[in-house]
Amino acid sequence: MTYTQTNDPTIREYVQSFQNLPVDEQLALFWFIYTEMGDSITPAAPEASTVSPNIAEGLFNQVKELSHEEQLQLQRDLINNADNRYTREYGSMSDTTKLLFWYRLAQGMENATIVPMPPNYQLSSQAEELFNKIKELDFGQQITLFRDYVSPMGAEPKAGAEV
């Protein structure tokens, strides 16, 4: 699982700040980003040249069949780099396909096929501060930040037939 991180020091700092949040706070922040900026950011992912929509959709379809508790655990497992079938499948995807997968998860949260955010959830002050900084970035920087955030998640695929 290789990915290239940007040399932009601001993006690197924001990715590090994102990763330093507790796992559930990272998930919440990603949800708030989607709800606030999803219309402008996420449509870029499906049209990107390296995206594999069928692969993202395939993993999404597997995840939506899980219970809500299992769906939440899978998202935590991705962030924590746990090693299981789903995280290895995720780890084998391109960076842009990973962005599309997270976009599909957010869409699923909207219609409750994926575990929804708790009602009236409030971000911590640290996450809120980061959220406000991310909103100030230009579109290209936002995409780079999200790519650099989701890229290292998951686990290395296994050699041979087992993903």
Q: Which long-range contacts does 7-12 make (Cβ < 8 Å, 24+ apart)?
A: 8/141, 8/144, 10/137, 10/141, 11/137, 11/141, 11/144, 11/145, 11/148, 12/148
Q: DSSP string covering 22-81, please? A: -HHHHHHHHHHHHHHHHHHHTTHHHHSTT--HHHHHHHHHHHHTS-HHHHHHHHHHHHTT
Which whole number is the average pLDDT over 45-68? 81
Mean pLDDT of 5-21: 92
Whether 110 contacts 62, CB under 8 Å: no
pLDDT tens-digit series, residues 141-162: 998 999 999 999 999 877 654 5
Domain boundaries, the chain: 7-39+50-149
Tokens 């992912």 correspond to 45
For the stretch 76-112, pLDDT in tens is: 999 999 999 999 999 999 888 898 899 899 999 999 9
CATH entry 1.10.2090.10 includes domain 7-39+50-149: yes
Give me the pLDDT at residue 41, please. 55
Q: How far apart are CA 88 and CA 155, in angstroms?
A: 5
